[in-house]
Structure 1
Amino acid sequence: MTQYDVIIVGGGLVGASLALALADSGRKIALLEGSDARFEDLEQGWDARIYAVSPLNRRFLEQLQAWPDMSRIGTIASMDVCGDAGGRIQFSASDAGASALAWIVENRWLLASLWQRLADSPVQCLTGVRPVSLSTTASMACLTLEDGRALHASLVVGADGANSWVRSQTELAASIKPYGQSGVVANFSCEKPHGNIARQWFTGDSILAWLPMAGNRISMVWSTAKPDELMALSAEQLCARVAAAGNHQLGHLRLLGAAAAFPLRLIQPEAVVSQRLALVGDAAHTVHPLAGQGVNLGFQDAAKLAALLQAPGDAGDWMLLRRYERERREAVKTMQFTCDGLYRLFHTQHVPGLSWLRNTGLSLTNRLAPLKRQFARHAIGF
Structure 2
Amino acid sequence: MTQYDVIIVGGGLVGASLALALADSGKKIALLEGSAARFDDLEQGWDARIYAVSPLNRRFLEQLQAWPDMARIGTIASMDVRGDAGGRIQFAASDADASALAWIVENRWLLASLWQRLRHSSVDCFTGVRPLALETTATAACLRLDDGRELRSRLVVGADGANSWVRQQTGLAASIKPYGQSGVVANFACEKPHGDIARQWFTGDSILAWLPMAGNRISMVWSTADADALLALSAEQLCARVAAAGDHQLGHLSLLGPAAAFPLRLIQPAAVVSQRLALVGDAAHTVHPLAGQGVNLGFQDAAQLAALLASASDAGDWMLLRRYERSRREAVKTMQFTCDSLYRLFHTEHLPGLSWLRNTGLTLTNRLTPLKRQFARHAIGF
TM-score by structure 1 length? 1.00
Taking the aligned partners of 1:85 and 1:142, their CA distance within structure 2 comes to 56
Secondary structure of the structure 1 residue equivalent to 2:14: helix
Q: Which residue of 2 aligns with 1:145?
A: 145
**Cα deviation, residue 351, structure 1:** 1.0
Aligned pairs (5 A) from 1:163-202: 163-202=163-202
Unpaired runs of 5+ residues, structure 2, are: none
**Cα deviation, residue 27, structure 1:** 0.2
List structure 1 runs of 4+ shifted beyond 4 angstroms.
none
Q: Which residue of 2 aligns with 1:305?
A: 305
The one-letter amino acid paired with 1:263 is P
Taking the aligned partners of 1:213 and 1:258, their CA distance within structure 2 comes to 17
Is residue 88 of structure 2 the alignment partner of residue 88 of structure 1? Answer: yes
Q: Which residue of 1 aligns with 2:29?
A: 29
Q: Which residue of 1 aligns with 2:114?
A: 114
Is residue 238 of structure 2 the alignment partner of residue 256 of structure 1? Answer: no
Aligned pairs (5 A) from 1:309-348: 309-348=309-348
**Cα deviation, residue 2, structure 1:** 1.1
Taking the aligned partners of 1:367 and 1:68, their CA distance within structure 2 comes to 37
**Cα deviation, residue 350, structure 1:** 2.0
The one-letter amino acid paired with 2:59 is R
Deviations 1:62-89 (A, max 9, x none): 0000000000000000000000000000
Aligned pairs (5 A) from 1:22-61: 22-61=22-61
Taking the aligned partners of 1:235 and 1:87, their CA distance within structure 2 comes to 31
**Cα deviation, residue 171, structure 1:** 2.2
Q: Which residue of 1 aligns with 2:364?
A: 364
Taking the aligned partners of 2:244 and 2:231, their CA distance within structure 1 comes to 16
Identity %: 88
**Cα deviation, residue 312, structure 1:** 3.5
The one-letter amino acid paired with 2:353 is G
The one-letter amino acid paired with 1:374 is Q
The one-letter amino acid paired with 2:46 is W
Q: Which residue of 2 aligns with 1:70?
A: 70
**Cα deviation, residue 293, structure 1:** 0.1
Taking the aligned partners of 1:342 and 1:350, their CA distance within structure 2 comes to 16
**Cα deviation, residue 159, structure 1:** 0.1
**Cα deviation, residue 209, structure 1:** 0.0
Unpaired runs of 5+ residues, structure 1, are: none
Taking the aligned partners of 2:88 and 2:99, their CA distance within structure 1 comes to 23
Taking the aligned partners of 1:328 and 1:352, their CA distance within structure 2 comes to 38
Taking the aligned partners of 1:299 and 1:350, their CA distance within structure 2 comes to 38
Q: Which residue of 2 aligns with 1:160?
A: 160
Deviations 1:89-116 (A, max 9, x none): 0000000000000000000000000000
Taking the aligned partners of 1:7 and 1:327, their CA distance within structure 2 comes to 21
Is residue 127 of structure 2 the alignment partner of residue 127 of structure 1? Answer: yes
Is residue 223 of structure 2 the alignment partner of residue 223 of structure 1? Answer: yes
Taking the aligned partners of 2:238 and 2:351, their CA distance within structure 1 comes to 32
The one-letter amino acid paired with 2:175 is S
TM-score by structure 2 length? 1.00
Taking the aligned partners of 1:354 and 1:378, their CA distance within structure 2 comes to 25
The one-letter amino acid paired with 2:195 is G
**Cα deviation, residue 136, structure 1:** 0.2
The one-letter amino acid paired with 2:219 is S
Secondary structure of the structure 2 residue equivalent to 1:138: coil
Q: CA RMSD in A?
A: 0.6
Is residue 258 of structure 2 the alignment partner of residue 237 of structure 1? Answer: no
Taking the aligned partners of 1:2 and 1:34, their CA distance within structure 2 comes to 19
The one-letter amino acid paired with 1:42 is L
Taking the aligned partners of 2:278 and 2:340, their CA distance within structure 1 comes to 25
Deviations 1:229-253 (A, max 9, x none): 0000000000000000000000000
Secondary structure of the structure 1 residue equivalent to 2:170: coil
Deviations 1:239-292 (A, max 9, x none): 000000000000000000100000000000000000000000000000000000
Secondary structure of the structure 1 residue equivalent to 2:35: coil
Secondary structure of the structure 2 residue equivalent to 1:114: helix
Deviations 1:278-325 (A, max 9, x none): 000000000000000000000000000000011040000000000000
Secondary structure of the structure 2 residue equivalent to 1:81: strand
The one-letter amino acid paired with 2:61 is L
